[in-house]
Amino acid sequence: MPDMTKSDTATAAPDAVDATAPAPQPVKAEKTRSLWGDAWEDLRRNKIFLISAVLILLLLTITFFPGWFTSANPTYGDLAKHYLQKPQLGKVFSPEWLGYDQQGRSVYARLIYGARASIAVGFGTTIVVTIAGGLVGMIAGYFGGIIDSILSRLVDVFFGIPFLLGTMVVLNSFPERTAWVVIGALGFFGWTQLARVMRGAVITTKQSDYVQAAKALGASTPRILFRHILPNTLAPVIVVATISLGVYIGSEATLSFLGLGLNGVSWGNDISDGGNQIRVAQWIMLYPSIMLTITVLAFIMLGEAVRNALDPKTR
């Protein structure tokens, strides 16, 4: 664990100019620069952050350009190459590298093409949840009173239903489960966590002097919310969103295992199929499991690294 105590503002300032690029809020430059600039200084030297960032970039490349990694068709099954033909670990990146599944489809090709389902559901759900939960949390936290009471009870209602069960009920009604359907179902029950985080952050921020000053100057409510409060509540929201991105990828795979996930090529479906073959052909489930675990791990590590960098108190 690197030491987080180092906060050399003199050297941080010039570097921080290019460091504002990943920070999504260019407005209110002074505020953003110090917090995110400091964090960036920490993150650049944090091995865990670098490893997870490289892993995520690699996964994104696989998602968008699967053809770069394999020429095999993930849905083409050649029964002559049935699953008792063992993986040929020497033939790196060839279709037979990681063996074939029960229907003679290349496990490696399915690994590459399966990334798309996980990444699409992970990012899609996180975007939906962040926007929906963020808005509800912001409104509840800023206006308070009766609005807060009603919205908070609404959050409680959705939070009370076990996440997996709720999504199962919704998904069971859709025979055609595209990425959009799965994103919708996960988002429908997932927004509560971010709403709570956002509400808490807004309540602490709205008492700040600069918010009071903006109010006194007659700034409109949307302006106060989006230009003064939002940039200063983003830190915890981004951390929670990153970590939950990994969690949603895991949830998608779990739903696939239960037969209620995406239709088509996905790691969850392959693990579920391979689980029944585990006595004779472990590789069918092993490799997608490894990919899935690494993916979830990468997003959780990224989120935790950002959290530690943003909050000098942890450590």
Partner 1 sequence: MGRYVARRLLQMIPVFIGTTLLIFLMVYALPGDPVRGLFGDKGGSPQVIAALRHQYGLDQPILVQYWDYMKGIILHADFGTQIGSGRPVTDVLGDAFPVTLRLGGFAFVIELVLGIGLGVFAGLRAGRAADTSVLMVTLLLISVPVFVLGFILKWIFADELQWLEPNVNDPTNYGELLMPAIVLATASLAYVSRLTRTSIAENMRADYVRTAIAKGLPRRRVVGVHLMRNSLIPVVTYLGTDIGALLGGAVVTEGIFNIQGIGGTIYQSIVRREGTTLVGLVTILVLVYLVASLLVDLLYAVLDPRIRYA
**Does 90 contact partner 1 by CB under 8 A?**
no
207 touches partner 1 by CB under 8 A: no
Q: Which of 69, 143, 226, 257 binds partner 1 (CB under 8 A)?
A: 257
| 36 vs 299, beta carbon nearer partner 1 | 299
Based on the number of CB atoms within 10 Å of its own CB, is 154 exposed (0-12), middle (13-18) or buried (19 or more)?
middle
The single residue among 69, 143, 158, 210 that binds partner 1, judged by CB under 8 A, is 158
Amino acid at the residue 152: S
* Residue burial 267-300, b: 16+ Cβ < 10 Å; e: rest: bbbbbbbbeeeeeebebbbbbbbebbeebbebbb
Q: Helix, strand, coil: what percent of the chain each, to 5? A: 70, 0, 30
Q: Does 114 bind partner 1 (CB under 8 A)?
A: no
- In whole angstroms, how close is the CB of 221 to partner 1 at the nearest point? 28
Specify the residue, 25 or 254, whose C-beta has the smaller distance to partner 1.
254
At its nearest, how many Å lie between partner 1 and the CB of residue 91? Answer: 25
- 252 to 56, 217, 245, 257, 291: CA distances (angstroms): 18, 48, 11, 9, 14
**Which one of 67, 90, 145, 160 is in contact with partner 1 (CB under 8 A)?**
160
Size of the site for partner 1 (CB under 8 A): 43
> Would you count residue 275 as binding partner 1 (CB under 8 A)?
yes
Per rule CB under 8 A, is residue 165 in the interface with partner 1? yes
Q: Between residues 143 and 163, which has the closer beta carbon with respect to partner 1?
A: 163
Among 57, 60, 213, 278, binds partner 1 (CB under 8 A): 278
The reply to whether 168 sits near partner 1 by the rule CB under 8 A is: yes
Contact call for residue 5 and partner 1 (CB under 8 A): no
* CA proximity to 203, closest of 253, 145, 154, 130: 145
Placement of tokens 């799965």 in the chain: 182
Listed residue (55, 190, 23) closest to 121, CA to CA? 190
Categorise residue 104: left if φ over 0, alpha if ψ from -120 to 50, beta otherwise: left
Instruction: State how far the Cα of 211 lies from the Cα of 281, in Å rounded to an integer.
Output: 61
Binding status of residue 187 toward partner 1 by CB under 8 A: no
The string over 161-190, giving b where at least 16 C-beta atoms fall within 10 Å of a residue's C-beta and e elsewhere, is eebeebbbebbeeeeebebebbbbbbbbbb
Candidate residues 55, 203, 219, 297; the one interacting with partner 1 per rule CB under 8 A: 297
Which residues contact partner 1 (rule: CB under 8 A)? Answer: 1, 153-154, 156-158, 160-166, 168-170, 172-173, 246, 250, 253-254, 257-259, 271-272, 275, 278-279, 282, 285, 289, 292-294, 296-297, 300-301, 304, 313-314
